[in-house]
Amino acid sequence: MVADLARSWLTCSAPVAAAQAAGRPLVALESSIIAHGMPYPENVRTARDVEALIRGLGAEPATIALIGGRIHIGLSDDELELLGRADRVHKVSRRDLPAVLTGGGLGATTVAGTMICAALAGIEVFVTGGIGGVHRGAPETFDISADLQELAKTSVAVVCAGAKSILDIGLTLEYLETHGVPVLSCEQDNFAAFYTRDSSFRADFRLDDVAEQARFIRTKWDLGLAGGVVLSTPVPEAAAMTFEEIDALTQQALAQAKAQRITGKAVTPFLLAHIKALTSGRSLATNIALVKHNAEVGARLAQALAHAGRGAGAA
C-alpha cells in the first residue's frame, strides 16, 4: 500500500517501462552529476555517452530526476538537455524530495535521492561517480552526507570510483561499517579515491569477478539484510591524477570553504566547483573517464544480478 502510493509519483520512460516489462536489467543513474557536477555541454554529452555504454552492454539506463512534480525514471534527450542547461536546479537528497515534488521545480537527485527513487522503481544497480561521506572536520561540523544513511537502509548496489579526498575517507568507511554497509572493491584491494586510484584504505572485500559480486549482493538481500552495498572501482590508469596534485588542490578548496563559511548542502558543490576551477578542466576529463568506467562495471553487475541464483543452494 505504501509502495503503491509511492509509485504513483513515478513516471517511467517508454524504454524503461519496456525493459521492466521484459525483465531486462536496468541501471539507475543520478542527475546531480549532470546539473551540479559538470559544466554544459560536457555534462549532457557524458550523460548520453554513459547511457549508450550501458545499452551496449545489454542493460537499460534509467537516469533519474524530478520534473514538473513527478519522479522521472529514464529521461528523454530533451529532458537531459533541460537538466544540463538550466542554472537553477534543486539538489535533491532524502530531505528535499517532498519539497521539490510539491513545488514542481527541476530537481537533480544525489546518491541518496537516486537510491530512494531507484528502489521505488525496483532497480537494483545504480552507477554514480563518487559517493558523499563524512566531511573532514565533521566532529565539529556534524557534516555527514545523507548518502551514508541511505546506504544503511535502502537496498541498492552503488557502483562508484570511491569517494573524493575532500572527505575524510577513513571516517566514511568507519561510518559505513557501523551501519552494516559492505564496501566491495574490484581491480584492487583498496577503496578508490575518485580522481586517484588509491585512497590508502582497504575495502572490506575484494571481488573482481562479477558473478561473485552478484552472489554477494543477492545473498545480503536474501538474508533480509536491507541496505546498500558499495562497489568501488578505480579510475582507469590513463585518466588518473596523482595524489600530490589532487591533495594540494583539496587543501586550497577546503580553506576557501572555511573562509567563506559555506555550510549545509552547499559544501559539496562548492568544493567540487573549486577543484574543477583549480585544475582548469583536467579534473573534468578524469571525472568523465571514471563515470564511463563505472557504467561498464555497473551494466555487467546488473546483468549478473539478473541471472544470480537465490538462496543457499544456488550455484
CB nearer Mn ion, residue 30 or residue 143: 143
Question: Binding-site residue total for Mn ion (CB under 5 A)?
Answer: 1
Q: Residue 30, interface with Mn ion (CB under 5 A)?
A: no
CB nearer Mn ion, residue 110 or residue 190: 110
**Residue 185 bridge partners (DSSP):** 206, 232
Q: Residue 96, interface with ligand PSU (CB under 6 A)?
A: no
Q: Which of 60, 150, 164, 220 is catalytic?
A: 164
Among left, alpha and beta (phi > 0; psi -120 to 50; other), residue 141 is: alpha
Tell me if 125 is assigned to a ligand binding site: no
Task: Lay out the site mask for ligand PSU across 269-308 (x = CB under 6 A, - = otherwise).
Answer: ---x------------------------------------
Contact 149, 132 (CB under 8 A): no
Shortest CB 298 distance to Mn ion, Å: 25
Write out the binding residues for ligand PSU, residues 184-223 only, by CB under 6 A: 194
In the structure grid, which three cell numbers stand for residue 228, read together?
546498500
Please state the φ and ψ torsions of residue 191, each to the nearest 5 degrees: -65, 140
Q: Residue 32, interface with ligand PSU (CB under 6 A)?
A: yes
Q: Choose the contact partner of 46 out of Mn ion, ligand PSU, none; CB within 5 to 8 A by kind.
A: none
Tell me if 204 is assigned to a ligand binding site: no
Write out the binding residues for Mn ion, residues 119-148 only, by CB under 5 A: 143
Q: Choose the contact partner of 165 out of ligand PSU, Mn ion, none; CB within 5 to 8 A by kind.
A: none
Residue nearest to Mn ion (CB): 143
CB nearer ligand PSU, residue 60 or residue 143: 143
Annotated active-site residue 220? The verdict is no
CB nearer ligand PSU, residue 67 or residue 271: 271
Tell me if 17 is assigned to a ligand binding site: no
Task: Lay out the site mask for ligand PSU across 222-261 (x = CB under 6 A, - = otherwise).
Answer: ----------------------------------------
Q: Residue 111, interface with ligand PSU (CB under 6 A)?
A: yes
One residue of 30, 51, 60, 168 binding ligand PSU per CB under 6 A: 30
Q: Exposure of 131 by Cβ count < 10 A (0-12 exposed, 13-18 middle, 19+ buried)? A: buried
How many residues in total does the chain contain? 315
Q: Choose the contact partner of 218 out of Mn ion, ligand PSU, none; CB within 5 to 8 A by kind.
A: none
Annotated active-site residue 164? The verdict is yes
Shortest CB 248 distance to ligand PSU, Å: 18
Q: What residue has cell string 552472489?
A: 215
Cα gap 293→288, rounded to integer Å: 9
In the structure grid, which three cell numbers stand for residue 258, read together?
572555511
Instruction: List the catalytic residues.
Output: 30, 164
Residues within the interface to ligand PSU (CB under 6 A):
30, 32-33, 37, 93, 110-111, 129-130, 132, 145-147, 164, 194, 265, 268, 272
Residues within the interface to Mn ion (CB under 5 A):
143
